[in-house]
Amino acid sequence: METLEGLGLAANILQFCQAVGSFINQAHEIYRSGPAALGKVNDLRGISKDLHKMLSEMQRQDTQMKEKHLTETSQLPLHNECLTLLQDLTSSLDQLDLPENPGKKESIMIAFRARWNRSKLEDLEKRIESFRQQLVLGLLVTIRNFTMQSLDHQEAILHRLDGVTQVPRPEQSAPAHALFQHLAHRGGLDNYATDSIRWKTQHSSTLNRVATGQGEMVIPPAIENKLQQQFLSTVLGPDGKNQRQSQIHEAHKRTFEWIFDENGEAEHPWDSFVEWCEQDSLLYWITGKAGSGKSTLMKFISQHPQLMKHLQVWSNGAPVTIASFYFWASGTAMQASSEGLFRSLLYQLLDQHKHIIPKLAPQTWEGTYLFGAPMPMVPADDLRRMLRFTIREVGKTSRICLIIDGLDEFGGSTDDVLDTIEAFTSLSIKVCAASRPWVVFEESFYQKPQLLLQNLTRQDMEEYTQSALRGNRGFRRLRAREPDFAEQLARNIVDKADGVFLWVCLVVKSLLTGLNNDDRISDLQGRLDALPPDLEDLYDAVIKTWDTFYFKHAAQYFELKKAHTGVLEARILFLADTENISHAIEMDNRPISQEEYDSQLSTIRRRLNSRCMGLLEVTSTGNALQPHPVEYLHRTVKDYLRRHDVQARLQAATELFDPYLQLCAAYSLSIKSMPSYITGQDRKIDITLRAYGAMVSARLVATGNTEIMVEILDKMALLLEKEGVLHNQERSPWWPSATLHWFDHFLSHQGFLSHVTRENVTEYVRVRAGRSLQAPSLLLIDAAYSRPDPSVNMFQLLLDLGADINFELLSQGANAGSETGCTVWSEILVAFVSRQFSTVETMNVEKICKVWIPVLRLLLEMGAPVEGQVRDSLQSRCALLFSPHYNMERLFIGLRLLQVGNEEDAFKLLCRELQSMQIAFRQTSRQREKKVDNT
């Protein structure tokens, strides 16, 4: 088997390189030792003997290869080069006639220096380094060729290797591990696992180059499926799959079916959705007022089998790939962003066409399979390129249809989201989009097929109302007493709704309460008449019906929801709804059972229903691993609760309530009580996210509650250390990868305090820094990468504690060979210029500068230089970020303006400079993408 023979040759070459390396080191030592070099003769004699043994082994191996006619083995040419060099080297040493007689040592040293002068040693070093690089490439070729063979052939080779090494092979281990283990057994490697990962990281570009034009790897199905799921998880990012679709209520039975009616007629005509599906028109716009049911209709469309049936008319029977996304302004930032859209669509397309993954990310795919290294998260700035490539690959065998809801809930500018829609349709992708009837959308879509939803749902609302009423015992009693009024009640509700489906749902819930109490006709009609037709006025009317006790409790829930960043889990809300905050400090670690989890979930559902009357609700999907979110009933509820008059009422009812302290405690408790069946990497990720949730909440805890907040975080820090999460190597997600090779050493001095600094928990740092801080200067770098933005207060605090802005990083033991002139100040400037590249959308440079100007001014006042080595250091680091040819001179002009107090001109110049960097970054990215596309 060529793989086995190739590994044998590789082991010989590795041993050869190590042995010649020892000879070179000894030769240099002889030159450095001067007269004392006479004692080195014995060492030379030992090296000579080792080289002769190696020569014999390599000659034997060469003979065997020729006898077996394996002259095409990939390592053989390099092996022959090494053999020739080894013959010359041993011959040279033989001519020295290294004797046992010590009297000849001086003459031997003279002859050795004459034969092996410094120039010749340098040439030998270069040749050995060349051999090493060729060997790495050859090993990569060997490993990849191994994976291109049939599974049976691969297993046979591995079985042979196992028989040679007699070392158990881990189940589903990476191919390179088994091959390197064989090399280690042959004496070629000291630590095969370490070297395999090192080679993967150092030579991944070589691996990718080798793979180009080669055949596909043959991977066992179980491992391939695992790799596919692993890659898909890196596409989604830390926020996971867009949960908005699962949170949208299902359409009521027998509603919205008219959308697929090919011959339907309505009082208000609309452009046939079926015709759009079947014909070549690419964009369909569904619009309607707030609460009219757009999201419910979009979910109904995306899940209905009729959609695929009609789309395949358009595709002439070819497969159609459907993907969807629901922008959601009340959810996480990701759910309202282009990045969230791209991640979700890329995930769905790849999930349906998994064979594309190796083509999309060959370097990651092959490196992970061959070497077992973890897959990195797909960076935000790679998403556009990846999505474009995936669309092109999917388009070779399938047509594509996208369902995109909530364009009006996009967190960026409407121009950006409209450009994205246009980009999709320019690729011959069908897009069904929904939004409120904003003027900007009407102007863009006025010539496209469309429908106005509130004009088409009267029958649906009557069906929903009749169904809800018929299922109520009180209504059935009313119908027996007053059949005419009962028959008319549903129509009266729909008449007043004016096309707002959400209004109907809320009003029906209110009327069902009266029906359960057997209200008279006049009471029911009065209740209906008293409810205002406007949604926000209706919310006002609902809140005014609450008694004082429930209103106070509801106000606490609303404040917790408003204070929370991202998705609020039902269990976090349950834990935050505690009156004994010290429980978060005193409670021992105790995993929660599934029965307890279900009980807590049921309790918080009932409390929300009774206190908030449905304005806040627990979604029906989720489990302990993907928890149930607590969401506003509708975006209009969030808008209503943020009105100044409503906020004043809520704050008056919660004057002594600190939602941030409650949430900080809740996250700490959730770590202590994490279910025991959440294990392994899932457990570490879950604990990490909950720890960050606690820190984010701690950031805004009221000053009077600082002491207990510090105690909560102290207890949590001990628990994190015990669980082995939030390691010192953790870094900000904005940290540019090009600057990481030395920073881990310094971060090890900071620990938990480093993470708290990055989360801007100023009061915790103030209390704890004086007791545990070893190097305050290094925390300045964490402060530069803090979230959501750098805080001048944190910088001022650290400087007051003695931090030095000119702290020399490299003088404290960083890796040898790193860039010179690297200081805390230069790394802070890297953070400043790299901030604009932290997401897939171009960051607003004016916003960046407004945040950073006070920080930069403070640091300049404290002695930060704008001349000398700091400029060279920043230039070299930023060259890795966006363009190696970009000149940083204008940035330093802006800093000098700021240094002399000209803040206005400095602001303008720095903004222009960041914009120029963005242009350079985009140009470099386009050139890179063009190269990839050409490949």
Cα(870)–Cα(874) distance, integer angstroms: 6
| Helices 118-147, 204-211: crossing angle, 10 deg rounding | 50
Give the pLDDT score at 214.
56
Tokens representing 662?
A: 């409650």
Largest CA distance in the chain: 129
Residue 511: per-residue pLDDT: 83
Whether the predicted pLDDT of 2 surpasses 60: no
Q: Is the pLDDT of residue 840 over 50?
A: no
Terminal Cα-to-Cα distance of the chain (whole angstroms): 33
Read off the pTM. Answer: 0.71
DSSP states of 406-432 = -GGG-SS-HHHHHHHHHHHHHTT-EEE
Strands 430-435 and 283-287: parallel
Average pLDDT (466-492) is 84
User: 616-620, 740-744, 915-919 — which one is most confidently predicted on average?
Assistant: 616-620
Q: Give me the amino acid identity at 794.
A: M
Mean of pLDDT values over 47-59:
76
Spatial distance between the Cα atoms of 81 and 13, rounded to a whole number of angstroms: 10
Angle between helices 383-394 and 903-934 (to 10 degrees): 30
Cβ neighbours, 10 Å, residue 704: 10
Region of poorest pLDDT, from 371-380, 633-642, 656-665, 681-690? 371-380
Report how far residue 199's alpha carbon sits from residue 220's, in angstroms, rounded to the nearest whole number: 23
For 823, counting Cβ atoms within 10 Å of its Cβ (0-12 exposed, 13-18 middle, 19+ buried), the class is: buried
Residue 212 confidence class, pLDDT cut points 50, 70, 90: very low
Give the Cα separation of 861 and 540 in Å (integer). Answer: 52
Q: What is the mean pLDDT of the chain?
A: 79
Sequence-distant (≥ 6) Cβ neighbours of residue 933 within 8 angstroms? 389
What pLDDT, on the 0 to 100 scale, is given for residue 816? 38
Helix (H) or strand (E) holding 684: helix 680-698
Residue 135 and residue 14 in contact, taking contact as beta carbons nearer than 8 Å = yes
Residues 265-313 pLDDT 10s: 556 678 999 999 999 999 999 999 988 899 999 999 999 999 999 999 9
Residue 88: count of CB within 10 angstroms of its CB = 10
Task: Dump pLDDT digits (tens) for 122-131.
Answer: 788 788 877 7
Closest CA to 875 of 777, 737, 735, 738: 738
Q: How does pLDDT run across 154-169, given as a tens digit for each residue?
A: 666 666 665 555 555 5
* pLDDT score, position 391: 96
Non-local CB neighbours of 840 within 8 Å, separated by 6+ positions: 337, 338, 339, 342, 380, 381, 383, 384
400: β partners: 321
Provide the residue type at 745 as one letter.
H
In 642-749, alpha helices (H): 644-653, 659-672, 680-698, 706-723, 743-747
pLDDT category of residue 73 using cuts at 50, 70 and 90: low
Q: Which of 31-40, 341-350, 873-882 has the highest mean pLDDT?
A: 341-350
430-435 vs 450-452, strand pairing mode? unpaired
CA atoms in the 13 A half-sphere facing the CB of 932: 18
pLDDT band at 783, cuts 50/70/90? very high
Q: How far apart are CA 31 and CA 814, in angstroms?
A: 30
Q: What 8-state DSSP symbol labels residue 256?
A: S
Q: Which residues pair with 616 in a beta bridge?
A: 632
Residue pair 674/687 in contact by the 8 Å Cβ criterion = yes
Centre a 10 Å sphere on the Cβ of residue 915 and count the other Cβ atoms it contains: 14
- Which of 243-247, 322-326, 711-715, 806-810 is least confident? 243-247
Residue 722: per-residue pLDDT = 85
pLDDT of residue 819: 43
Helix (H, G, I), strand (E, B) or coil at 855: helix
CA 643/CA 636 separation, integer angstroms: 11
Q: Check residues 245 and 439 and name the one with the higher pLDDT.
A: 439
Instruction: Give the DSSP H/E element, type plus range, for residue 197.
Output: helix 192-202
Q: Which has more pLDDT, 676 or 758?
A: 758
Return the DSSP state at 148: T
Q: Contacts from 440-444 at CB under 8 Å and sequence distance 24+?
A: 440/414, 441/285, 441/287, 441/407, 441/408, 441/414, 442/287, 444/418
Cβ 841 vs Cβ 417: under 8 Å: no
User: What residues form DSSP beta bridges with 433?
Assistant: 285, 404
Does an H or E element contain 135, and which? helix 118-147
Instruction: State yes or no: pLDDT of 873 exceeds 80.
Output: no
- Dist CA 478 CA 486 (whole Å): 7
Tell me what the mean pLDDT of segment 905-918 comes to.
84
Neighbouring CB atoms inside 10 A of 589's CB total 11
Query: Which amino acid, residue 53?
Result: K
DSSP 69: T
Asked if residue 561 has pLDDT above 80, the reply is yes
Query: pLDDT category, 746, cuts 50, 70, 90?
Result: very low
Q: How far apart are CA 713 and CA 705, in angstroms?
A: 13
**pLDDT score of 248:** 73
DSSP letter at 399 equals E
CA–CA separation, 48 and 90 (whole Å): 7
pLDDT of residue 934: 52
Sign of CA dihedral 31, 32, 34, 36: negative
What is the token pair recorded at 550? 């429930």
Tokens 């929903």 correspond to 464
Comparing CA positions, the residue from 725, 809, 718, 713 lying closest to residue 766 is 713
Average confidence (pLDDT) over 3-25: 72
Alpha helices in 748-844 (DSSP H): 752-758, 762-772, 776-784, 792-800, 824-834
pLDDT in the model for residue 223: 80
Residues in the chain: 935
Task: Write down the pLDDT at residue 747.
Answer: 36
Does position 384 have pLDDT exceeding 50, yes or no?
Answer: yes
Mean pLDDT of 78-87: 78
Is the CA virtual torsion 472, 473, 476, 478 positive or negative? negative
d(CA 323, CA 345): 6
Predicted pLDDT at 15: 75
Prior bond of 627 cis (ω within 30°): no
pLDDT at 749: 38
Residue 547: is its pLDDT beyond 60? yes
Q: Any idea what DSSP says for residue 814?
A: P
| Banded pLDDT at 173 (limits 50, 70, 90) | low
Q: Which residues pair with 568 in a beta bridge?
A: 630
* Of 200 and 504, the one with more pLDDT: 504
pLDDT of res. 743? 34
Dist CA 642 CA 561 (whole Å):
12
Strand ranges inside 291-358, DSSP E: 320-326
pLDDT > 90 in the chain, percent: 27
- Band of pLDDT at residue 557, cut at 50, 70 and 90: very high
* Least confident stretch, 13-17, 882-886, 931-935: 931-935
**Residue 888: per-residue pLDDT:** 76
**pLDDT band, very low/low/confident/very high, at 769 (cuts 50, 70, 90):** confident
**Contact between residue 836 and residue 914 where contact means Cβ atoms under 8 Å apart:** yes
Cβ-proximal residues to 182 (8 Å cutoff; 6+ apart), any chain: 7, 11, 161, 164, 165
Higher pLDDT, 113 or 432: 432
Bridge partners for 286 per DSSP: 434, 451
In this predicted structure, what is the pLDDT of residue 213? Answer: 45
pLDDT of amino acid 839: 47
**CA–CA dist 693, 689 (Å, integer):** 6
Place of tokens 């999201």: 295
Query: pLDDT tens, 621-659?
Result: 555 456 788 988 888 888 888 999 999 999 999 988 999
How far, in Å, are 316, 534, 642, 650, 820 from residue 647 at the CA level? 56, 19, 6, 5, 54
pLDDT for res 114 = 64
pLDDT band at 930 (very low <50, low <70, confident <90, very high): low
Q: Is 411:330 a contact under the CB 8 Å cutoff?
A: no
